[in-house]
C-alpha cells in the first residue's frame, strides 16, 4: 500500500505523520530556529523511511489518495516555497509509486497544472 509522509495538526500536537498508519513524529513545541526546523524535517523524513507500518496501528480513516494539490498546500502552509513544495511532493510520489508509472505521470501532470495556476495567480 502506498504511504507518504504528511504534516498533521491535531489540537496541541503538530508534526509529521504517516498517511497509512499511526506513526507520528511530533515537532518540539519550542522550535523556532530555521536551522533546527530543517534538521527536524530531515530527521523526520529519515525516521519515516525506516518505520514499518505493520508495527503501528492502522489509520482509522486512511486519507487515501490525498489530492496532490492538498499535499503541496500543506507544505506551503509550513513555509515552503511553492516550487520547492511541488518538487518535494513529486519526489515522494515517485518513491511511493515507483511501480506505477501511470500514477507518477498523473502526479507530474497535476504538478504542472498546479504551477501553471500559481503563475497565473489562480491559487
One of 4, 16, 23, 25 touching Zn ion (CB under 5 A): 23
Q: Give residue for cell 499535499.
A: 71
Pick out residues in 40-79 that bind Zn ion (CB under 5 A).
53
- Residue pair 56/23 in contact (Cβ under 8 Å)? The answer is yes
With respect to Zn ion, which residue has the nearer C-beta, 19 or 114?
19
The widest CA-to-CA distance across the chain, in whole angstroms, is 45
With respect to Zn ion, which residue has the nearer C-beta, 35 or 52?
52
Q: Count the site residues for Zn ion by CB under 5 A.
A: 5
* β-strand pairing of 5-10 with 13-18: antiparallel
Q: What is the DSSP letter of 100?
A: -
Mutual angle of helices 68-77 and 82-96, in 10-degree steps: 130
One of 18, 27, 75, 89 touching Zn ion (CB under 5 A): 18
Per CB under 5 A, 5 contacts Zn ion: no
Q: What is the DSSP letter of 54?
A: G
With respect to Zn ion, which residue has the nearer C-beta, 18 or 27?
18
Per CB under 5 A, 20 contacts Zn ion: yes
- Least spacing, CB of residue 4 vs Zn ion, in Å: 9
C-alpha–C-alpha distance, residues 109 and 98, integer Å: 16
With respect to Zn ion, which residue has the nearer C-beta, 58 or 83?
58
Amino acid at each position: 500500500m502506498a504511504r507518504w509522509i504528511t504534516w498533521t495538526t491535531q489540537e496541541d500536537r503538530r508534526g509529521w505523520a504517516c498517511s497509512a498508519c499511526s506513526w507520528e513524529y511530533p515537532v518540539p513545541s519550542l522550535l523556532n530556529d530555521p536551522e533546527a526546523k530543517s534538521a527536524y524535517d530531515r530527521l523526520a523524513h529519515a525516521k519515516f523511511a525506516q518505520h514499518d507500518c505493520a508495527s503501528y496501528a492502522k489509520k482509522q480513516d486512511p486519507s487515501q489518495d490525498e489530492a496532490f494539490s492538498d499535499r503541496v498546500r500543506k507544505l506551503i502552509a509550513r513555509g515552503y516555497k511553492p516550487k520547492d513544495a511541488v518538487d518535494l511532493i513529486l519526489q515522494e510520489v515517485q518513491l511511493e509509486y515507483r511501480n506505477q508509472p501511470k500514477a507518477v505521470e498523473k502526479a507530474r501532470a497535476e504538478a504542472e497544472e498546479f504551477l501553471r495556476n500559481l503563475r497565473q495567480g489562480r491559487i
